[in-house]
Structure 1
Amino acid sequence: MAGEAGMFTVHQTVGTVLCCKCGILMAPNAANMCVKCLRSEIDITEGLQKHVIIIHCPECDCYLQPPRTWLKAQVESKELLTFCVKRLKNLNKVRLIHAEFIWTEPHSKRIKVKLRVQKEVLNGAVLEQAFLVEYVVQDQMCESCSKVQANPDQWVAAVQLRQHVSHRRTFFYLEQLILKHDAAVRAIRIRQMDRGIDFFFSNRSHAVKFVEFVQKVVPIKSRSDKQLVSQDSKSNSYNYKYTFSVEICPICREDLICLPPKLAASLGNLGPIVICTKISNVIALLDPLTLRHCFLDADQYWRTSFTSLLSSKQLVEYVVLDVDPISSEVNVGGSKYVLADVQVARVSDFGKNDTMFFVRTHLGHLLNAGDYALGYDMHAANSNDMELDTYKGLVIPEVILIKKSYEEKRQKKRGKPRSWKLKSLNMEVDASETRGRADEEKRNADYEQFIRDLEENPELRFNISLYRNKEYQPSEMASVTDGEEDAPSVPLEELLADLEIQGEAEEDEGMKE
């Protein structure tokens, strides 16, 4: 019996009462009134704004947050919804439960937001109610856009980026980083110069922020100057134009470097013949004979300010005859290398003479007999480097290999479109810098080399946005390789991943370059 009593449960029932106004049955509450009668008696949205005027700048797509702050927000975005809710007065008298946009015609200059609020009413009863707020959008240009429209050439701060090298590959890479992070979104004008790019801003703070961004991605040194444009002594106001001169270090990836003796000693007698393997906010240097490496920041570099012994323009193609690995795979700064003794011959000499070179390289994990490689011909190079002369008795290898070559495999695909493309900044070319067809061909050759570097080096395209090329037809590129290794290309997975992250913005812009 005790067990049966333990299994017995009492079901609690909720009683009902009659509404004091209309007399219908309802669940009891503190006001003893049904919801319809409560709403007929009390309007909790009374005193809340139902119509609001907001100011919108059509040029930069910003909204005015009184008194002088301009907020950038897209249509039906979370930022715009937050802005609209904050513009309502007396909203702190109720509790906001939910807010959402109601669709309106894009050209109607109306934004409608549906709000659901709660408030405690008679004798502690909580009433919930929804209401609609209509925002009237009035177009008015912000101060910066007004200045630009009045005089497009009116700038307050200019950033002059320069690099004293014979190619523009650094600027192609920097351009993609700027596009990825919208670093130059505040620039009112961008001009391509002979050895760099000029950025013009309507505010000094925007230029300072841009210089700080460049400092985080490449080693630079900068200085700033200002020029007085006008002054008003009565109101104690002065107008200046600011110029930021930014010099990027002339060391580039794949450059061959002879370290100064003092620097080499401070780095534990590294090298002194080293290769630059990567450029970011630091310079990555690698000794190809021992796999020792180091990283130099901008301050360390500019204290010594050395230059390249040989650059990528002087690379020579070799054919690999034999490879003998002498070490296991080593991870150096995120990249994998294997030391190997290789036998190579210049492609230009192959079949003409028996000149061969036995050298040590860090590319043992990539090279096989029959492959082609690019390297520096130290045997025939004529170098006038002052640092090289300071080392007495230094034995310089006859050949220093830099990377594997895929030129022969690329011959089959020459002239065919790639499956991906890059965007580019809206730059104007200075008429005084235009030097004719030869200069344009040189720029196109540098851009093609930059594209090939992206295909060969996944680490280099890690921070770059790649976009699908609509002109690409897979059937055109299909070819039978008979089991041979194909030329490197960008995997389709990287393009799809980037499109998923970026959303629909790229589709709206037409994937334009």
Structure 2
Amino acid sequence: MEQDTGMFTVHQTIGTVLCCKCGILMQPNAANMCANCLRSEVDITEGLQKHVIIIHCPECDTYLQPPRTWIRAQLESKELLTFCVKRLKNLNKVRLVHAEFIWTEPHSKRIKVKLRVQKEVLNGAILEQAYTVEYVVQDQMCESCSRVQANPDQWVAAVQLRQHVSHRRTFFYLEQLILKHDAAKHAIRITQMEHGIDFFFNNRSHGVKFVEFVGKVAPINSRHDKQLVSHDSKSNNYNYKYTFSVEISPICREDLICLPPKVSNGLGNLGPLVICSKVSNSIALLDPLNLRQSYLDGDQYFRTSFKSLLTSRQLVEYIVLDIEPISEVVIGGSKYVSADAQVARVSDFGKNDTIFNIRTHLGHLLNPGDYALGYDLHGANANDIELDKYRGLIIPEVILVKKSYEEKRQKKRGKPRAWKLKSLNMEVDNNAVKGRDNEEKMNSEYEQFMRDLEENPDLRFNLSLYRNKEYQPSEMASVTDGEDVPNVPLDELLADLDLSDVEVEDGDGDDMRE
């Protein structure tokens, strides 16, 4: 050590003393002993646990944090290290400096942790020492897993989702939302029924939470009931089974609706003929003639509970002969252009020269020669009670709903997509899918749902789409497929990672992944 006094520099050195026990030179401390002699005299790890038994559930891969909490942790993770350190008793008598895992065979049922601790000994001297704690892992199923293994049908809460329509498009969309938000992670079983899906939980709170999630993404009407299973009169314990019946609004996107007079007046004389442009926790209604839009939430709808006049299954294909834009408006981030158009049914070609002069809200999408899907009110036999309540109502001959790409998709038929969707692990009820016709119908509806995702960016905004590893783009694809066919941009796709991908990437040094 040097000290500058201004005139000259004084050199200072730290003195050394002899250890009072072994006699070696050492820097002085409160005990006047070297570190080796201190360790031989004092063991600061005495009284600390060296062997601990921890309980592990092999079914759900969780560890028991006494008395009844089960936590999830991977091997050699920070969560598992924290769990192991907290299981040690009397660790508050020393100061923990460092903790790390010592590698053991994964199947050995042993976890070893090396700890480094400090403690003040012999007149204030600080001694640091390392020791190893061995944790013996004992397998024991948690209460929920034991209940499921004993009887898989032993559920506590059941949520029955139902929608009384002729297709399953709503459930395809709802399935993707459930997967993205992991809303069904506590479900012990999922069953596909004829008009919906059943979710079974081993806890009532999980069922309530799931119903709340569905209510945030779809207009629903729910009610619940409970049934007494058993009770103990001595301890006053009662066991119930809870059933939640959730009805989803039958109004779907692209449906044509005739609003009841009371609803139309409540929405500022909207319609009465409107199109359902979007369904979330509320129903978006668009008047295609004047581009007015309004919303109905689930409670408002189920107070009146009207039905669709025509559904997407009754759409007819038209060809646009001429179109002239009139005005433009942006509603909820979507642009609509009101236009006068001349259209003709594709099925009339070669049979008659019937042409319809109509007003449409698709002036921003359609050009002469394009195809569009719409509702044929000129030839439809609409027996709707609400429609009869409007006297002197002028019904348009055609209401267009969306642009059609069917002709251009013929060239791409049978070719794989560059993206894919995940699906829930569902059991199929014996009465839900019977026969080949029902299976083909469901496959056709799923294909239509995939096309809707390609055509509508707003529809896939809240979903997770993944890259298809089996997709191999060809050089002729861009030439033969056509440029006007909508598709999902690659930057919207997520990589579907698994452990095999990571191992191959680490081994080959190639960070490219499909």
Instruction: Tell me the TM-score normalised to structure 2 length.
Output: 0.87
Q: CA deviation at 1:409?
A: 1.5
Match of 2:508 in 1: none
Match of 1:90 in 2: 90
| CA distance in structure 2 between the aligned counterparts of 1:414 and 1:99, rounded to whole angstroms | 59
Match of 1:347 in 2: 346
| CA distance in structure 2 between the aligned counterparts of 1:189 and 1:247, rounded to whole angstroms | 20
Give the unaligned 5+ runs of structure 1: 1-7
Match of 1:253 in 2: 253
Match of 1:336 in 2: 335
Query: What are the within-5 Å matches in structure 2 for residues 43-442 of structure 1?
Result: 43-119=43-119, 130-328=130-328, 330-442=329-441
Q: CA deviation at 1:379?
A: 1.6
Secondary structure of the residue aligned to 1:265 is helix
Match of 2:459 in 1: 460
Report the CA distance shift for 1:29/1:441 in structure 2 as closer, same or farther (over 3 A).
same
Q: Say how many residue pairs are matched.
A: 495
| CA distance in structure 1 between the aligned counterparts of 2:445 and 2:330, rounded to whole angstroms | 30
| CA distance in structure 1 between the aligned counterparts of 2:168 and 2:309, rounded to whole angstroms | 19
Q: Larger deviation: 349-358 or 303-312?
A: 349-358
| CA distance in structure 2 between the aligned counterparts of 1:9 and 1:503, rounded to whole angstroms | 71
Residues 19 and 34 in structure 1, CA contact (< 8 A), matched pair in contact too: no
Q: CA deviation at 1:351?
A: 4.4
| CA distance in structure 2 between the aligned counterparts of 1:304 and 1:147, rounded to whole angstroms | 43
| CA distance in structure 1 between the aligned counterparts of 2:279 and 2:500, rounded to whole angstroms | 28
Residues 349 and 355 in structure 1, CA contact (< 8 A), matched pair in contact too: yes
Give the unaligned 5+ runs of structure 2: 1-5, 505-514
Q: CA deviation at 1:475?
A: 2.4
| CA distance in structure 2 between the aligned counterparts of 1:178 and 1:141, rounded to whole angstroms | 27
Secondary structure of the residue aligned to 2:52 is strand
Q: Larger deviation: 128-137 or 465-474?
A: 128-137
Match of 1:5 in 2: none
What is the percentage of aligned positions where both structures have the same residue?
Answer: 78
Q: Deviations over 1:231-265 (max 9, x none)?
A: 33233222222211111111111111122222222
Q: CA deviation at 1:24?
A: 4.6
Q: Deviations over 1:47-89 (max 9, x none)?
A: 4333221111111112111111222233334433332232222
Q: CA deviation at 1:97?
A: 4.7
Q: CA deviation at 1:433?
A: 3.3
Residues 231 and 237 in structure 1, CA contact (< 8 A), matched pair in contact too: yes
Residues 322 and 344 in structure 1, CA contact (< 8 A), matched pair in contact too: yes
| CA distance in structure 1 between the aligned counterparts of 2:7 and 2:467, rounded to whole angstroms | 66
| CA distance in structure 1 between the aligned counterparts of 2:183 and 2:400, rounded to whole angstroms | 36
| CA distance in structure 2 between the aligned counterparts of 1:462 and 1:103, rounded to whole angstroms | 44
| CA distance in structure 1 between the aligned counterparts of 2:12 and 2:72, rounded to whole angstroms | 52
Residues 257 and 273 in structure 1, CA contact (< 8 A), matched pair in contact too: yes
Q: Deviations over 1:469-504 (max 9, x none)?
A: 22221128724149x523222222222xx22xx754
Amino acid at match of 2:244: F
Match of 2:511 in 1: none
Report the CA distance shift for 1:112/1:9 in structure 2 as closer, same or farther (over 3 A).
farther
Q: CA deviation at 1:507?
A: 5.4
Q: CA deviation at 1:135?
A: 2.1
Q: CA deviation at 1:452?
A: 0.8
Q: Larger deviation: 473-482 or 171-180?
A: 473-482
Residues 411 and 480 in structure 2, CA contact (< 8 A), matched pair in contact too: no
Q: CA deviation at 1:222?
A: 1.1
Match of 1:4 in 2: none
Residues 194 and 431 in structure 2, CA contact (< 8 A), matched pair in contact too: no
Match of 2:470 in 1: 471
Q: CA deviation at 1:380?
A: 1.6
Amino acid at match of 1:147: R
Q: CA deviation at 1:196?
A: 0.7
Report the CA distance shift for 1:9/1:263 in structure 2 as closer, same or farther (over 3 A).
farther
Instruction: Tell me the TM-score normalised to structure 1 length.
Output: 0.88
Report the CA distance shift for 1:303/1:89 in structure 2 as closer, same or farther (over 3 A).
same
Q: Deviations over 1:16-60 (max 9, x none)?
A: 33255365565x877777766666665554443332211111111
Report the CA distance shift for 1:141/1:379 in structure 2 as closer, same or farther (over 3 A).
same
Amino acid at match of 1:106: P
| CA distance in structure 2 between the aligned counterparts of 1:11 and 1:357, rounded to whole angstroms | 106
Query: What are the within-5 Å matches in structure 2 for residues 495-506 of structure 1?
Result: 495=493, 498-499=494-495, 504=498
Q: Deviations over 1:377-413 (max 9, x none)?
A: 1222221121222222222222211111111111111
Q: Larger deviation: 446-455 or 292-301?
A: 292-301
For the aligned residue pairs, the C-alpha RMSD in angstroms reads: 2.9
Residues 30 and 122 in structure 1, CA contact (< 8 A), matched pair in contact too: yes
Report the CA distance shift for 1:326/1:30 in structure 2 as closer, same or farther (over 3 A).
farther
